[in-house]
Amino acid sequence: MTVATVPQGARPKTFDKGRLLVYAVLLIASAFFLTPLWVMLMTSFKTMAEIRQGQILAWPQHFTVDAWFKAWSSACTGLTCDGIRVGFWNSIRILVPSVILSIALGGLTGYAMTFYRVRGANLLFAILLIGAFIPYQVFIYPMVRLFSIIGIYDSLTGIVVVHIVFGLSLMTLLFRNYFSSLPIELFNAARVDGAGFLTILRHVVLPMSAPIIIVATILQVTGIWNDFILGLTFAGRDNRPMTVLLNNIVNSQQGEAAYDVDMAATILTAIVPLAVYFASGRWFVRGVAAGAVKG
């Protein structure tokens, strides 16, 4: 773990007390933010015998990666002991179609709302927007009934549809805001040239949409990967996402908790969004700012 240290080397400016305070505060804050991650990592590399001694901050005396293998391939959820990998692959299977389809639909909806004047579109947008703020609990029970009736409850299709439905708010908002900032002249020129709805979308709007598609992908990948309540309710026994499996592994154990395995499984579950976060850098911040309705 690398913590940023106090700057070394020549700094022409005076190094007064104020600057010292600034760095002291930032370093203490960094410690606060990093400690839980540090503790998780250390715990996952220790043996249970060492964990029982309770030095959660200390470096492992006997460094081992056994817990990681156990967490991945043999940790138990209920009666089955196939590890968290089952959840990992389930999450991937949920993630890929959900991300692609929700972005496609959000982009299409945002495009139609921005450049065309369809009656009722503003009302549609208003409801979508308000919907983004309303807790899932308000919709969830009737959705379960509805999905049972049409036969997609407890299935991969069901959970993907749910992610598309609830992703629609944020995606439409993102694309609509982005498209509104594009120069309308390009759109008008294409239309004067006789280009139709799809032609303009494909040849004028889409080529300019790379930044917003990246932002949308970051938001949806992290958001859908981190989802718990929807996966728990709609995915069914065979498709439970990684977060649901993780919670089962940790919170429904019998006997002494295997903290080493628990923490390895926890980090494994966090790896995908963390990788997206570290790889995307400022894009993530941009996404957070742009999709300011995410909650």
Partner 1 sequence: MDKPKAMAGSRAYSLWRRQAPAAIALIPAAVMVVTIYLGAMLWTVRLSFSSSKMLPVFDLVGLQQYDRLFATERFVLSSWHIALFGVLFIAGSLAIGFLLAVFIDQKVRFEDAFRTIFLYPYSMSFIVTGLAWQWFLNPSLGLQKVVRDLGFANFTFDWLVQPDLVMFTLVIAAIWQASGLVMAILLAGLRGVDSELWKATQIEGIPTWRVYMSIVLPMLSPMLVTASVLLAVSVAKLYDLVVAMTKGGPGLSSEVPAKFIMDNFFERANVGLGSAAATMLLVTVVALVGPWIYVEHLRPRRNKA
**Which of 100, 121, 195, 213 forms a contact with partner 1 (CB under 8 A)?**
121
* Best CA proximity match to 162, nearest among 67, 234, 256, 89: 234
The set of residues, in sequence order, having a beta carbon less than 8 Å from that of 229 and lying 6+ positions away, is 136, 140
Q: Which of residues 181-210 bind partner 1 (CB under 8 A)?
A: 181, 184, 188, 196-198
Question: Given the complex with partner 1, which of 27 and 213 has the nearer CB atom?
Answer: 27
Binding-site size for partner 1 (CB under 8 A) equals 105
Site string for partner 1, 247-286 (x = CB under 8 A): x--xx-------x--xx--x--xx--xx-xxx--x--xx-
Stretch that binds partner 1, among 59-67, 75-83, 164-172, 202-210 (CB under 8 A): 164-172
Look at the alpha carbons of 168, 99, 243, 140 in this order and tell me if their dihedral is positive or negative: positive
Is 273 within 8 Å of 99 (Cβ atoms)? no
Question: Given the complex with partner 1, which of 138 and 210 has the nearer CB atom?
Answer: 138
| Helices and strands (H and E) in the chain: how many | 14, 0
113 part of the interface to partner 1, by CB under 8 A: yes
Euclidean distance between CA atoms 71 and 67, whole angstroms: 6
* CA distances to 34, 136, 201 from 139, in Å: 36, 5, 33
Euclidean distance between CA atoms 142 and 184, whole angstroms: 41
Stretch that binds partner 1, among 16-24, 62-70, 72-80, 204-212 (CB under 8 A): 16-24
**Which of 76, 82, 97, 124 forms a contact with partner 1 (CB under 8 A)?**
124
**Which of 76, 165, 213, 214 forms a contact with partner 1 (CB under 8 A)?**
165
Stretch that binds partner 1, among 36-44, 71-79, 152-160, 209-217 (CB under 8 A): 36-44
